[in-house]
Amino acid sequence: MSEADELVIYPMPSLVATLLNREQAKGGPLTEAEVLEIRDSCPSVAVPFDVAAKIDAERGYKDIDPEQCWEQWQEARRGLV
Q: What is the pLDDT of residue 39?
A: 96
Could you tell me the CA-to-CA distances from 4 to 8, 10, 43, 45 in Å, in that order? 10, 15, 22, 16
pLDDT of residue 45 exceeding 90, the answer is: yes
Class of residue 22 by CB neighbours under 10 A (exposed 0-12, middle 13-18, buried 19+)? middle
Model confidence over 1-27: pLDDT tens digits?
565 578 988 899 999 999 999 999 999
